[in-house]
Amino acid sequence: MNTDKNNSLYPLLFKPVLKDYIWGGRALADLGRDLPPEGVIAESWEIAAHDDGTTAVSNGIFTNHPLTAVQAELGERLIGTRSAWAAERGKFPLLIKILDANRPLSVQVHPNDEYALAHEGNELGKSEMWVVLHADDDARVILGVKAGTTKAMFKEGIENGRLEPHLHYLPVKTGDHICVPAGSLHAIMGGLLIAEIQQNSNTTYRVYDWNRMGHDGKPRPLHVERALDVINFEQVEPAICPPSPIAEADGVRRALLCRTPYFVTERVEMEAGAVFNGRCDGSTFEIWGTITGEAVVQDERGNEVELTAVAFTLLPAALGNFTVRTTEKTTLLRTYVE
């Protein structure tokens, strides 16, 4: 692919990749996702460059090119100098999803980078975060273990089919966010629609799957031994942390949601008519997404994209100056590498 460098940097939109895991539903159609006529859809991969699913660009000169090809063409101009390690491993750093948890996900854990490299080839570890787009009245998640739980007790609970006493449940509501570092025992329960920002990995170690069958009529595999290797049993009954204010001016209010070694995510609340001025200076890409309302993202060359909730755009690291404008009250997510 040979592109004009003057025209190859602009806000990128993508065609989602849909996943039909057994715990999904039909709610993603309400967000404008084009679902098949029948069956359940669990995940919409919004920005992805993974062997299990890669999104293709839907606007501009890169239309129909997969994100992997765009990264191969632009290199650090796309991902930035802070993500040079990702280029060395042939990876895009992050993966953005929307999840329709119509039924509970499995009780599971994700490894860190060191463990993934040792046991999963060139796969990354998986730290992630969730933003609750919708929650039923009784919605909850599992995060961490109950006080007093040890690895031996947890293993015995798996063997005896009595894991419940060791699982820590958290009630959640629309607008909540949950940070889920690698090693966190967790499960998203039913009645939740969630935006997920994560490392670019699809490695999951299940310890319990509610005794249900997969699409093939057989139990889905469990990964008890590896899960026990990586569960952080010191993560005891964690609470949901409130957003941490960053700045507020001219109708723009920013708050920190999660800071990890792999990404930082902010919530940006903007009043109607507000403008956010930013700059991609070559150090990091930025991903912006609307979770309520709508916004227009424009670069300094006049290229612009409209984001109607829920939608995401990827801003290349070398994009230069950009603005985010709103015509109504809007809440956005902003993610970058620190």
How many whole angstroms separate alpha carbon 183 and alpha carbon 185? 6
The dihedrals phi and psi of 146, each to the nearest 5 degrees, come to -70, 150
Show the tokens assigned to 245. 């204010």
- HSE-CB of 60 using CA atoms within 13 angstroms: 23
Number of H helices, E strands in the chain: 6, 25
Active-site residue identified among 140, 206, 254, 267: 206
DSSP codes joined into one string, 298-327: EETTS-EEEEESSEEEEE-TT-EEEEEEES
Residue 44: partners with Cβ closer than 8 Å, 6 or more residues away = 16, 17, 18, 19, 28, 31, 33, 97, 98
Beta strands in 172-251 (DSSP E): 177-180, 186-188, 192-199, 205-208, 244-249
| β-bridge mates for residue 101, sequence order | 192
Verify whether residue 206 is a known catalytic residue: yes
How many whole angstroms separate alpha carbon 225 and alpha carbon 223? 6
What's the CA angle centered on 41, arms 219 and 188, to 5 degrees? 65
Closest CA to 180 of 226, 231, 118: 231
Active-site residues, by number, are 206
